[in-house]
Chain A
Amino acid sequence: MEAFLHQVLSGLATGSIYAIVALALVMIYQATHLVNFAQGEMAMFSTYLAWTMLDAGFPYWLAFAGTVALSFVLGVAIERIVIRPVEKAPVLAVVIVFIGLLVILNSVAGWIYTYTIKSFPSPFPDRTILGGYVSAHELGVMAVTMGVLALLFLFFRFTPLGLAMRAAAQNPVSSRLVGIRVGWMLALGWGLAAAIGAVAGMLVAPIVFLDPNMMAGILLYGFAAALLGGIDNPAGAVVGGLAVGVLENLSGAYLVGTELKLTVALVLIVGVLLVRPSGLFGRVVVSRV
């Protein structure tokens, strides 16, 4: 029983990592209706920027804020410079550009920073609570994830900018007619997603250690989490993330052993999607001919 509880808590802790990455994916989906496969590598690169600042002697929170701001700018820049030229191209061409971006960021990070793992500090105290079941950092990750979720909710629901962004993604033509600058909304969406990604990266790195491949595995789970929860629903993404974390741990510990735990978790997720093809909390889109 104790071990079971421990597995669940540990699953929630890893799940909150998936959740925050899933949030970044949802963010960009809300803004552009695309899933950015380079999201994880962007987050990884942001974390290296933060590491560079810390290494240069910046205090933690200054480096944190600086990284979030810089990532936002870089996100906007990537949209304007890299994505804009393929705006009118078929969806799959855009996907290939994402893949290109992914391999470039991964390779350049390895080139600049080498592949040796680096430890990355946590802003939370270095101790465990609840009898060693959860570390303060893991609890902190959960809290930040919830915080980001709340902010996103408020932003999209109540601010004019948030509403404009949703409108631009839902119906670009009409949005343009009512005076929304659709192009900039997309860029803004990229910026926000990159900023959330940076937060995710900086929270993930103390747990998994910083290296150029840090986000590869996590992005897979984040992707699954976002779709499980419903790609257009931030709250769903968080629930999805936590569910994937717990599901994976339990299937590894009790169902099939660690060799096939990822496979089983994925089969379960796909199973859920077969019953609810838009995810647990996703809106069912009815398209007319």
Chain B
Amino acid sequence: MARLLGPDGRRVGLALLLLAACVLPFLLSSYRTFQLTSALTYAIALVGLNILTGWNGQISLGHGAFYAIGAYVAAILMDRFGVPYWATIPVAGFVCLGAGYLFGLPALRLEGLYLALATFALALATPQLLKWKHLEEWTGGVQGIVILKPDAPFGLPLDQDQWLYFFTLAITVLMFWLARNLLAGRIGRALVAIREQPTAAEAMGVDIAFYKSMTFGVSAMFTGVAGALGAIVIQFVAPDSFTLFLSITLLVGIVVGGLASLSGAIWGALFIQFIPNVADHISKAAPWAIYGLFLIACMYLMPTGVAGLLRAAAARLDRAPPGP
């Protein structure tokens, strides 16, 4: 896309996209606005997982765990300590940065399938730990925590859904900007080098251990921020919200959207937000069967995800001679 439009064209495109994103909630119903808000939170989570899996090549089947930590940090802070909702988001991010970094240290020794298992274990253990009686005082145990939905501040003429949408949109833009700056430079190149040729990367002086565990931390931070936003949007956290299936959904999102692509995170988020509803609409008898067919069809048609397909299409257009 970039080459097709050139850097200026790209900037114009982004500005138009952002403008559209700002206008949408005034055109759509509250319910649709709410759906878009949830898609935005997914997009942030997917950027997180994509940094780890797409750019750095470490497969995680357990990112739902970091999403859950972020959500619970936000919920506990709001519910027990009366912290305002906006202030919980950076805290959730930092807690997850730490948790991800710590998890990343032992995970350094594991590769491929073994890393998949370790993260898988994390995803399985999360609901169990959230229900654990010694943590119940904080987590609310099986009952979870209900939190309040924030109103728009400063007397802005927005309803709760619109305000949350703009709040989430702002954070999404910030997180995408952060991710882009992180990945466009030296760090991004180091991550890809580690993914493609770890030994060569090391020989060139890339500190693999540091980069890998830090990537885990940063990735978890993004996902944690998304979790905190998700909790605020849904107004409720419970162990049942963060099962293994959430982690798998996130993985589905990055692959369908496109690995190692920021725009892919948006496509993936739209997919995991809306396709299950489409499947439900088609068949009540076996909605998962329809969803599965969608998944397989996507992989047949776009093995490199939506972003990959668009990139290939753009490259083809670039190469084609100018039309008449």
Contact = CB atoms under 8 A, between A and B. Distances in A.
Whether the complex brings A and B within 8 Å at their CB atoms is answered yes
Interface of A: 35, 82, 85-86, 88-90, 92-97, 99-104, 106-108, 110-111, 220, 223-224, 227, 231, 259-260, 262-263, 266-267, 269-270, 273-274, 277-279, 289
B299 to A, nearest CB: 5
A100 B131 contact: no
Contacts, number: 127
A220 B121 CA distance: 9
Given A99-B292, A223-B120, 19 more contacts: A82-B296, A89-B303, A89-B304, A94-B299, A96-B256, A97-B299, A101-B296, A102-B292, A107-B287, A110-B286, A220-B124, A259-B131, A260-B128, A263-B121, A263-B128, A263-B129, A269-B117, A273-B117, A289-B200
B252 A104 contact: no
A161 to B, nearest CB: 26
Contact of A289 (B110, B133, B197): B197
B95 interface: no
8 contacts: A35-B113, A90-B304, A94-B299, A100-B293, A103-B295, A104-B288, A223-B117, A260-B132
Contacts of B200: 289
B248 interface: yes
Contacts of B117: 223-224, 227, 269-270, 273
Interface in B235-284: 248, 251-252, 255-256, 259
Contact of A111 (B125, B197, B286): B286
Nearest to B54: A92
Contacts of A95: 251, 255
Contacts of A88: 303
Interface string B81-124: 00000000000000000000000001001110110111011001
A227 B113 contact: yes
Contact of B121 (A110, A111, A270, A277): A270
B181 interface: no
Contacts of A92: 53, 59, 251, 255, 259
Interface in B47-92: 53, 59
B291 interface: yes
A88 B120 CA distance: 26
7 smallest CB-CB distances across A and B, nearest first, come from A89-B303, A107-B288, A100-B295, A104-B292, A266-B121, A107-B289, A263-B125
Band of interface residues on B: 35 or more
B299 A96 contact: yes
Interface residues of A, dominant DSSP: helix
Interface in B285-311: 285-289, 291-296, 298-300, 303-304
A223 B125 CA distance: 15
Contacts of B287: 107
A261 B117 CA distance: 17
Contacts of A89: 299, 303-304
A225 B65 CA distance: 22
Interface in B128-187: 128-129, 131-133
Contact of B289 (A90, A97, A108, A259): A108
A231 B113 contact: yes
Nearest to A275: B109
Contacts of B124: 220, 262-263, 266
A95 B255 CA distance: 9
Contact of B259 (A90, A266, A267, A277): A90
B29 interface: no
Nearest to B292: A104
Contacts of B291: 100, 103
B69 to A, nearest CB: 15
A141 B121 CA distance: 26
A101 B289 CA distance: 8
A32 B111 CA distance: 18
Contacts of B294: 100
Given A86-B303, A99-B252, A259-B132, A273 B118 contact: yes
Contact of B110 (A110, A260, A273): A273
B128 A262 contact: yes
Contacts of A85: 300
A266 B118 CA distance: 8
Residue with the greatest number of chain B CB neighbours at <10 A, chosen from A92, A102, A267, A289: A92
Contacts of B129: 260, 263
Given A92-B255, A93-B303, A104 B128 contact: no
A136 B251 CA distance: 42
